[in-house]
Structure formats: C-alpha cells, structure tokens
C-alpha cells in the first residue's frame, strides 16, 4: 500500500490547528473532521496517532496530548496546555527575532512581506525582550544578488565559479544570462551555459565568484526558459531510481525530498525516489547511517559499501605521532 508524499510544512500547520479544532467539537465524526480539514480520514487518523506522542517535556502521563475514541468519533480529553497562549522568555524572543531578521535579509526569499509583518508583531508584543544588541545584515549576499541582477539588465555575459552540489564539485563556466527568478526560498540565475550548451538554473548561494564580461549575452534560439511552476527539481524516468529501506529516524527524507512511492511495512518504510546523480545519493545516504538501507540500484550499493570500507580502513590504520622537538630547537 503506497502513501502520497505530504509536505512537512503542510502537516505541521494542520497539526497545530487540529487540537483547538477538536476541542471545540468533542465527539465529532472522523469523516466529518477530515472533510472540514480537506484531508482523507486515513490522513486524519495518522495525524491523531502522531498527536498521541506530542506534548510537554517529560513525556509521561499527564504530559502528552490524550484523546478518546467512540467508534468513528474522537474527543480530545487532555490538550497538554496547547490551548494556553504562548509566552516567550528573553532568550526565545531574541532567537526568534534574529532568525526572522536573517530570513528577511536573505536574497530572493519569498513572502518577505509576511516575514516583516510577523517580525513587527513579535517585536511589538515582546517589547524590550525582542530588541537584539546587534543588527542582522547579510551585505555580501545582497551585493552579489544586486550585481548579478545588474549584469542581467545590462545584457552582458558572465564568467561563474559555481559549486554543483549533486557532483560535489566546483567548476568555471561562461554563461549568457536570461533572467533572475525566485523558486521557493531560493534565488536563481537562469542562463545559457556555454560549457554544457544547455539552459541551466544557477542557485545564487552556490555562485562562489563571478565576473561581468565585456561581451554581450547572446542566448541561442534553443535557450528555452525552465517551467518552474512545479519546482526546480522535476524527476523524470531518465533519472536513476533509488530504492531504500528507511527506519523511523530517517523517515524525514520522504517529506524533505520528492519521492515516487512510500510503502509502509512493519518497522520500516520501503521508499523509491529519483535522484539527479548517484554520487549525491551516496553522500546523503552515508550520512544517514543505520537509519537507511540501500536496496538498489546495485551500483549505488557498491559505492556505499566501498565508502564505508574506506572509512573503516582509516580507523584501522595506525597513526604515528611526531616526536616533540628537543628543547631549544
């Protein structure tokens, strides 16, 4: 049985609203609640199972959210204080304001007006508690974004030093800029790359250096802009298909990365996903350790086994410490 991917941000918002919704409707039918929340009854039951292990630190009796089921009806019997208004202490207010100010300063960030409204409300409500001793500024990022945008407007080609995360490598290339755009929370330069002779999206935070050239930007007629309406990464059948067995500690990858299928089995999930590069997949999965077991493809299994063996060899090899130099030398 497969389950469609549910973005973590959508689920978090739903869970935060679920308790007050159910508190106001004791004994509501699960089907009726699911219809109101625009989800399936199965999704609602999964949310309720998650709420059962949520609550206050201590996580013992009386700390966790509790509920009672009567057939197909549900009632919140203990809300663990979630209905009480949030009160921030000085450290919490400062951390939240600094994070929001940094987010507002990030080039290409979406929904900036919403961030600034939230920041204004928090600062107004918290008063002196939310007044940090230093201003949060990211001048380098702002200057880079402004300079690249100016080059695009002026119609000049650029020489980029660019880090490609999928292959873990830095390359130099000359590009013909086409436009600047924001997708999600990242700003991108879309340009014709002369190195690969194709249209590419370059994430601004991965451009290590750039030089504006004297020659004009001249994208060829085959330089077609990307359709980013469904996001930057659009997995297709031509990309490698990776199959994983995922334990509880690694299930977050099904919400953070696009997956094709999640099959829930006792104690673990069987996950299939497309990746742009097996080298990127190797670095990701090695870092997850025992929470993930790679089922296929065979070449990825071999790459990870070789990487693990190389790491173990480093621990097994004896290391000789250099002797301290004699006094006076």
Closest C-alpha among 281, 65, 297 to residue 166: 281
DSSP 155: T
226-256, pLDDT tens digit by residue? 877 766 776 778 888 999 999 888 888 887 7
**CATH 1.10.10.10 domain range(s) in the chain:** 9-78
**CATH 3.30.70 domain range(s) in the chain:** 241-314
> How buried is 163 (Cβ within 10 angstroms: 0-12 exposed, 13-18 middle, 19+ buried)?
middle
- Mean pLDDT estimate for the chain: 78
Q: What is the secondary structure of 282-328 as a DSSP string?
A: HHHHHHHGGGEEEEE-HHHHHHHHHHHHHHHHHHHS--PPPPPPPTT
**CATH 2.30.30 domain range(s) in the chain:** 140-216
Instruction: Quote the percentage of the chain above a pLDDT of 70.
Output: 77
CB 141, CB 205: distance < 8 Å: yes
Q: Which residue has the higher pLDDT, 3 or 72?
A: 72
pLDDT bucket at 191, cuts 50 / 70 / 90: very high
pTM (two decimals): 0.45
DSSP 64: B
Distance CA(258)–CA(256), nearest Å, equals 7
Distance CA(177)–CA(272), nearest Å, equals 35
Instruction: Quote the percentage of the chain above a pLDDT of 90.
Output: 18
Q: Which CATH architecture has domain 9-78?
A: Orthogonal Bundle (1.10)
Closest C-alpha among 162, 230, 231, 233 to residue 191: 162
Which CATH number fits the domain 241-314, given the four candidates 3.40.1130, 3.30.70, 2.30.30, 3.90.1720? 3.30.70
Q: Which residue has the higher pLDDT, 294 or 3?
A: 294
Does the pLDDT value for residue 125 go beyond 70? no
Tokens representing 29?
């039918």
12-67, pLDDT tens digit by residue? 777 778 888 888 888 999 999 988 888 889 988 888 888 877 777 666 667 788 88
Tell me which CATH code domain 140-216 carries. 2.30.30
Distance CA(116)–CA(249), nearest Å, equals 34
């Amino acid at each position: 049985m497969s389950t469609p991917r549910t973005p973590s941000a959508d689920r978090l918002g739903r869970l935060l609203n679920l308790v007050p919704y159910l508190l106001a409707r004791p004994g509501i039918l699960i089907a009726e609640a699911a219809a109101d929340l625009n989800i399936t009854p199965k999704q609602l039951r999964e949310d309720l199972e998650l709420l059962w292990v949520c609550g206050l630190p201590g996580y013992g009796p009386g700390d966790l959210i509790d509920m009672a089921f009567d057939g197909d009806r549900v009632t919140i019997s203990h809300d663990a204080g979630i209905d009480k208004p949030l009160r921030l202490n000085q450290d919490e207010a400062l951390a939240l304001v600094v994070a929001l100010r940094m987010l507002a300063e990030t080039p290409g960030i979406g929904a900036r007006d919403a961030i600034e409204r939230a920041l204004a409300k928090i600062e107004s409500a918290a008063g002196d508690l939310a007044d940090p001793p230093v201003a949060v500024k990211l001048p380098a990022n702002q200057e880079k974004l402004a300079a690249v945008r100016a080059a695009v407007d002026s119609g000049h080609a650029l020489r980029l030093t660019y880090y490609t995360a999928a292959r873990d490598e830095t390359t130099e290339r000359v590009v013909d800029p086409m436009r600047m755009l924001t997708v999600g929370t990242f700003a991108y330069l879309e340009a014709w790359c002369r190195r690969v002779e194709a249209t590419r999206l370059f994430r601004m935070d991965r451009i290590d250096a750039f030089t504006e050239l004297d020659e004009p930007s001249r994208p060829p007629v085959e330089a077609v802009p990307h359709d980013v309406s469904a996001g930057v990464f659009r997995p297709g059948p031509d990309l490698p298909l990776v199959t994983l067995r995922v334990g509880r500690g690694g299930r977050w990858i099904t919400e953070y990365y696009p997956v094709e299928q999640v099959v829930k089995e006792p104690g673990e999930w069987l996950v299939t996903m497309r990746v742009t590069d097996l080298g990127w997949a190797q670095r990701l999965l090695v870092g997850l350790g025992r929470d993930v077991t790679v089922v296929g493809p065979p070449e990825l299994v071999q790459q990870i086994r070789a990487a693990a063996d190389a790491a173990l060899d480093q621990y097994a090899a004896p290391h000789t410490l250099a002797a301290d130099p004699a006094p006076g030398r």
